[in-house]
Amino acid sequence: MHLQNIMDEIEKTDPEVYERLDTRRNAMQQFATLGGRIALAALPFALGGMFKRAYGQSTSTILNVLNYALTLEYLEAEFYTTGAASGIVPAGTPAVAAINTIRDHENEHVAFLKSTISSLGGMPVSKPTFDFTAKGTFSNVFTNYDTFLAVAQTFEDTGVRAYKGRAAELLGNSVVLSAALRIHSVEARHASHIRQMRSARGAIVKPWITGNDTGGIGSAVQANYNGEELTIQAGVNIAQFVSINAASESFDEPLTASQVQALVSPFIV
């Protein structure tokens, strides 16, 4: 076993290995100290422990989920910040305060996630450059109030699904899991309110999601709602207790990271 070769191989795969292990020099010193202190047979276990600290399932997975969440919160925060400043929200109506409330929450989520990532020793991802027209699909997003609300609804409902889809990866860290759940339910409150705002403007939509219905937004966001129509949960047919519609409404469904990435990518330049 040649430690130098092992480190070289790891370096090819992960150029940041020395940041994780402190520095290359310190890493090699750690190896030397380990080798001097313990029996050769035990060395692999000691190395395992050292790498677990650097790449431990818990911390690296958690940072990955938090940076994923941060990217989505950047999207929402900039969307509402831009929207609130654009004048598209009718002045003198309760909508102004509602949109400002949501804008503030999304910006708070960004700040909170960045500080949580840093406190765990991670590096917050930087904010992407966004295109809220989704490459032209919603070209009037900041000039047509209904389009603005349609995109808002889609972001909120999708955000709820995105957090849900990755909560299980946080099971090892109670503090982070609880915080993520608390953001998740705030997004659901937002979704409920935006849907009510759309309903008040004539859209056929309820505060909750029925089947995979987009609430009249249409095919551009159908993929954001597909899968919500599920009525069997953990093998239990919910439609035996209540209507099919209520059965689908009563459970919100998760999305995987790759599904969310595909849905969000049109909004990222």
Partner 1 sequence: MNHMKTNLPDTGNTGDVLPANHLGRRKFLSYLGMVGGGAAVLAACRKDKNNNGAPPGSIDLGSGDIGVLNYAYALEQLEAAFYTQVISTPYSGISSAEQSLLTDIRDHEIAHREFYKAVLGAKAIPSLQVNFSSINFSSRDNVLATAKAFEDLGVSAYNGAGQLLTNADYLLLAGKIVSVEARHAAYLRDLISNGSFADNTAVDANGLDLINKPIDVLNTAKTYLQSTLYGGNLPVK
Q: How far is the CB of 213 from partner 1 (least distance, A)?
A: 14
Measured CA to CA, the distance from residue 67 to residue 79 in angstroms comes to 18
Closer to partner 1 at the Cβ: 45 or 241?
A: 241
Least CB distance to partner 1 at residue 107 (A): 8
Backbone dihedral angles phi then psi of residue 186, each to the nearest 5 degrees: -65, -40
Q: For residues 135 and 182, which CB has a smaller minimum distance to partner 1 in the complex?
A: 182
157 neighbors 191 (Cβ within 8 angstroms): yes
- Which is closer to partner 1, CB of 141 or CB of 193? 193
Comparing CA positions, the residue from 150, 166, 151, 158 lying closest to residue 113 is 166
Q: How far is the CB of 16 from partner 1 (least distance, A)?
A: 29
Q: Which residues bind partner 1 (CB under 8 A)?
A: 94, 97-98, 101-102, 104-109, 111-112, 160, 163-164, 167-168, 171, 174, 177-179, 181-193, 196, 206-208, 233-234, 236, 238, 241-243, 246-247, 249-254
Is 60 or 137 the residue whose CB approaches partner 1 more closely?
Answer: 60
CB 225 within 8 A of CB 212: yes
Residue closer to partner 1 by CB (options 190, 198) is 190
Q: In whole angstroms, give the CA distance from residue 8 to residue 180.
A: 37
Tokens representing 11?
Answer: 């370096």
Min dist CB 138 to partner 1, Å, is: 24
Dihedral (CA of 137, 139, 142, 145) sign: negative
Taking the complex as a whole, the smallest distance from the CB of residue 247 to partner 1 amounts, in Å, to 6
